[in-house]
Amino acid sequence: MALVAQAPIVVGVDGSDCSQLAVDWAVDAAARHGRVLRLVYATQAERYERGASPSGEDRGDDAETGRELLVAARERAGVRRPGVPISAEVRDLTPVNALVREGREGTVLVVGSRGRGPLTTMFLGSVGLGVAARASCPVVVVRGERPALEGQFGRVVVGVSGARGEGAAIDFAFREADAWNVELRAVHAWPGVATEDAGQAEEAEARAVLARAVADASGRHPEVRTDLETVAGAPRSTLLWKAGSADLLVVGVRDRHGEDGLRLGLISHALVHTAPCPVAVVPRR
């Protein structure tokens, strides 16, 4: 695909191993979609980790650290995908604010599943969770080990609930499957019932919900191999199970109300923290 001047794919850089995997995922995506890769470093992550005050000396040191990390990230991305245009920016903001702002002009935001230093678990909550809850564009939280990031399964999985506005997540999943030239598996979980007759009726309704939900996107991407699957079970555990054989799991985010975790909803929140593969969180229309 020819590279064109369009909205970039934005990735957060902090020098951690997880950040490096996020850069790898993002530059692969930029190459597949013909996009510019934009690398962003937020200086206030440094000061937050150290518990230091935002003095002028701190800002200068943090900016220099950021420039060094961005040079390394640019080199890494350039070796992996030569020819992908790359831009880089040091922003004197918190990681969440920096990435959310960049996402206004971007097509996708990419973050690692953990930061660096002793507060890594908390940083997933403050960065990955915060960005996914607030961004106006899709956010990919890069999870899993390296083999899971190399397309070993040949499959994108999208969770479908039948709720209003989730067409954006389904469209995103179809576009990714098309760009990767892999199968799309659309999964709809429905609660089990006590009797066989009732179960058959519920399953038939679940299949109808799933077929209606993907019809438009499927029509726009007829070349994508599509598997529709209904499962009797809880959505969270079902999607976590299906993520075990996926290269990317796509979920929609609920309406933006409340704290960050509540904005995502319980299912998306849990998957961002526990899925064994990268998770794309897509705002509903």
User: What residue spans define the domains of the chain?
Assistant: 9-142, 147-283
Given this chain, do its domains 9-142 and 147-283 carry the same CATH topology?
yes
Q: Tell me the two tokens of residue 284.
A: 């509903």
pLDDT digits (tens, 9 = 90+) for 153-192: 999 999 999 888 899 999 999 999 999 999 999 999 988 7
Dihedral (C-alpha) 198, 203, 205, 211: value to the nearest 10 degrees? -170
In the sheet that 139-142 helps form, which strands lie side by side, from edge to edge? 86-91, 37-42, 9-12, 108-112, 139-142, 279-283, 248-253, 155-159, 183-190, 226-232
Q: How far is CA 70 from CA 38, 110, 179, 197, in A?
A: 10, 15, 27, 60
Asked if residue 212 has pLDDT above 50, the reply is yes
Measured over the CA atoms of residue 44, residue 50, residue 51 and residue 57, the dihedral's sign is: negative
Domain 9-142 belongs to what topology? Answer: Rossmann fold (3.40.50)
pLDDT digits (tens, 9 = 90+) for 232-278: 989 999 999 999 999 999 999 865 555 544 457 788 888 988 999 99
Q: Which residues pair with 230 in a beta bridge?
A: 188
Phi-psi region of 154 (alpha: psi -120 to 50; beta: other; left: phi over 0): left
Cα gap 279→267, rounded to integer Å: 12
Which is more confident, 231 or 196? 231
pLDDT digits (tens, 9 = 90+) for 88-119: 999 999 999 999 999 999 999 999 987 554 44
Cα gap 187→230, rounded to integer Å: 6
Domain 147-283 belongs to what topology? Answer: Rossmann fold (3.40.50)
Give residue 62's pLDDT band: very low, low, confident or very high (50, 70, 90).
confident
Burial of 24 (0-12, 13-18, 19+ CB in 10 A): buried
